[in-house]
Structure 1
Amino acid sequence: MEGRPPRLASLDVLRGLTIVGMIVVNSASYLHYVSGYAQFAALEHAAWRGFTVADAVFPAFVFMTGVSIPLALAGRGNGLDGATLRRLLVRSGRLFLLGLILSNLYWMATPESVLFRPMGVLQRLALAFLAAGVLYKTVGPRARLALAAAILLLYWPLTLAPFPDGATDLLKPGANFVGWFDRLVLGAHVYVPGPLGYDPEGLLSTLPAIAQALFGVAAGEWLLAPKSSKERGSSGLLVAGVAAIAAGLVWGVVFPISKELWTSSFVLLSTGIALVLLAGLHQVVDVKALRPPGTTFLTDFGINAVFAYSLHMLASIMLTAHMLKIPYRWATPVVGDRTAALIPVAIFVGLIWMVLAYMRRRGWIVKV
């Protein structure tokens, strides 16, 4: 068996940045809806179409799930043998099960008032990881990129296809074939209820997420490929990232950029942003071996990313604690309510980081 490639420090940093972003966005939203705190518009997801800072977080993690696949499987021979398939199935199964638990914490507490939700963030990651992992071991690099492009191209007419009892309108939430399919299969268990209910982590919209993971696989392969100079790795990612951003913005004129529908234009734009960030971090952290301020902090989140995400979901009730309301009230007259609302969020992130830093010092890495 070939030796496994070294761990990429830049990927841990970017994964940590993404997880911190997830925690900040989710925590700010939690305080907004539960405690009535004001919130910066950039930390809110676009209502249906559009793109905010918050919208860049989840797709970046889908992309990095793909990047990590060549790093984890490159030294395990060619083809999809039984052991590798079992490993992919077990890991994706554990991730999906954990997602089911985290998506249904309120349902488990009060099943009479909350509906069970089968889909969610980790469930989508699990499905994208499984599909991208199997394709990485069974299909060549060019065929994988062609398949990813085909998925994005075909997803467009799929969203425009007619559906029973309604008129397709991509500018109207849920008024499309993808939303109808979720209502048909998931019934009342979609995240957004109603006659035009839909699930932002639904079934058919997972297809372009798989394409996004395949783009991540291609980026991981590019970083592992032998090159005449290490700078070529960063420059190649940067060029691809800028091109993807431009393509996403242009396509978005006719196929709206929408995280809720996970449109192809959204995939290209968010993938491009992730590529640009990875290119910069690879150049600084991997090539030049620099450690800017905050690198250790983000790495602590990155090496235990799923654990950090799970911990913040389980501990989010802490955000409403009386002790965290005090600095918010003191700071509001000085910095304004939106900035003050970030103080309990920052404290919450700091508390989670203390756990992760201790785990890193002890060499504990939780693998799902």
Structure 2
Amino acid sequence: MTKEISTQNSSLKTQNPRLLSLDVMRGATIAAMILVNDPGDWGHIYAPLEHSKWNGCTPTDLVFPFFLFMVGVSVTYAMESRKSTVSHSKLILKALQRTAILIAIPWITQLIFHWDRGFSHLRFPGVLPRIALVYFICTIIYLKTSQKTCDWIFAGALIGYFIIMTFIPVPGVGYANLEPETNMGAWIDRLVFTTNHLWSESRTWDPEGLLGTLPAVATGLFGIRVGTWLKRKDVDDNVKVSWMFTYGVIAVVAGLVWDLFFPINKALWTSSFVLYTGGLATIALALSYWLIDVQGRKRFTYPFVVFGANAITAYVLSGFIPHYLNMIKIGGLSIYQTVFAPHFSPLNASLVSAIFTVIILWLVMWILYLRKIIIKI
């Protein structure tokens, strides 16, 4: 990782060509990701803050696809000016370096927390590896193809994934299906990674599995399409926002229709899930862009920009800080048991503890932000 110390003022919009609304949306997404990943008690969580059991989509299920969508939007803002001026091989090599670091971070983290197990039960797939692969593949597609080709790849990924998952028989099962342990993606993960290196709660399938990366890339390409539209200088802002809302609504409706025979499912990252969440992300970005970048309503943005400036850093630290906070004992009890549990109902105690974690991490990001330190991978 490299540490970039900016000498500009605190507005990210003046430091970078990216949108302030994009930074705000990224920061809000990271805050939500930390909130749902670090409850005080996993046995007591409000339903909207839990992932759907299988088919369906809760507010929590929107967090990850929103982030991948923004990865795609960010690629256009980071690469557009350099696409025609910098060697593509140099840009791809840089993207490959970032990808390798993002993949390595969760592996190293697991080894730190579970050093006694070594590599024998190291989970290979995961959130950061999926972000890394989507970023890398989308970067290559954006650099090497036209927008029209990008759109064809997007459609091909969704249709191809649908065919693979619903028509091709699963070896050892004999028929195509969408069940957790017997679908084609689960079979490929067990074949490639073996059961010792999959999600710890099942060891038979992984919600960030290898085959699911295909539609996840489509989510990134959705973001590239929207980012390319936003960067057009020959289109009025009112037109941009109107069409973004229109495209978003069309995608949501298409996702709901596809849901009838290819259910919306985050764990499988189904094609209907890509359209549904991509449409909602487009609507959310259109609203943010209109309010913040067009109308100039920026008073509420600061807390989210702080998170958005070091989004990946905040996410990585969210795996460490709660762990070490839980090691602090007061009278032999944890902070959760002494500060939160006695004063709130079980559900509210769990929620307040999660909010406390978000605040602690925000304070760390705030210190970095005040010192104009942006940690880039």
TM-score above 0.5, yes or no: yes
- How far residue 172 of structure 1 moved from its aligned partner, in angstroms, is 2.3
Aligned-partner Cα distance in 1 for 2:107–2:174? 32
Aligned-partner Cα distance in 1 for 2:235–2:213? 37
- How far residue 168 of structure 1 moved from its aligned partner, in angstroms, is 4.0
Structure 1 spans left out of the alignment, 5+ residues: none
Give the TM-score normalised by structure 2.
0.88
Aligned-partner Cα distance in 1 for 2:176–2:45? 29
Of 154, 177, 190, the residue aligned with 2:198 is: 190
Which residue number corresponds to residue 352 of structure 2? 343
Alignment of 1:175-254 (within 5 A): 175-188=182-195, 189-191=197-199, 197-254=204-261
Of 286, 291, 295, the residue aligned with 2:293 is: 286
Alignment of 1:46-195 (within 5 A): 46-78=52-84, 81-107=88-114, 109-111=115-117, 115-160=121-166, 161-168=168-175, 170-188=177-195, 189-191=197-199
- How far residue 63 of structure 1 moved from its aligned partner, in angstroms, is 0.8
Tell me how many residue pairs correspond in the alignment.
354
Structure 2 spans left out of the alignment, 5+ residues: 1-14, 329-333
Of 31, 40, 53, the residue aligned with 1:20 is: 31
Contact 2:189 2:205 in 1 (8 A): yes
CA shift in 2, pair 1:338/1:170, >3 Å: farther
Greater displacement, 310-319 / 18-27 = 310-319
RMSD: 2.1
Which residue number corresponds to residue 3 of structure 2? none
TM-superposition CA deviations, 1:191-228 (whole Å, max 9, x none)? 16768x21111111101011110111111111111134
What residue identity is the alignment partner of 2:292? Answer: V
TM-superposition CA deviations, 1:109-151 (whole Å, max 9, x none)? 3317971111111100111011100110110001101111111
Contact 1:152 1:211 in 2 (8 A): yes
Of 296, 307, 315, the residue aligned with 2:313 is: 307
1:115 is paired with a residue whose SS is coil
Of 263, 284, 287, the residue aligned with 1:277 is: 284
- How far residue 238 of structure 1 moved from its aligned partner, in angstroms, is 1.4
CA shift in 2, pair 1:225/1:350, >3 Å: same
- How far residue 171 of structure 1 moved from its aligned partner, in angstroms, is 4.8
Contact 2:111 2:119 in 1 (8 A): no
Which residue number corresponds to residue 11 of structure 2? none
Contact 2:107 2:122 in 1 (8 A): no
Aligned-partner Cα distance in 2 for 1:212–1:103? 27
What residue identity is the alignment partner of 1:9? Answer: L
What residue identity is the alignment partner of 2:258? Answer: W
What residue identity is the alignment partner of 2:155? Answer: A
TM-superposition CA deviations, 1:287-317 (whole Å, max 9, x none)? 1111243x11111111100000011111121
Contact 2:111 2:118 in 1 (8 A): no
Greater displacement, 84-93 / 121-130 = 84-93
CA shift in 2, pair 1:123/1:103, >3 Å: farther
Which residue number corresponds to residue 325 of structure 1? 337
Give the TM-score normalised by structure 1.
0.91
Larger relative contact order, structure 1 or 2 (CA cutoff 8 Å, min sep 6): 2
Aligned-partner Cα distance in 2 for 1:158–1:219? 27
Identical aligned pairs, as a percentage?
A: 34
Aligned-partner Cα distance in 2 for 1:274–1:142? 21
2:226 is paired with a residue whose SS is helix
Aligned-partner Cα distance in 2 for 1:57–1:239? 22
What residue identity is the alignment partner of 1:325? Answer: Q
Greater displacement, 137-146 / 233-242 = 233-242
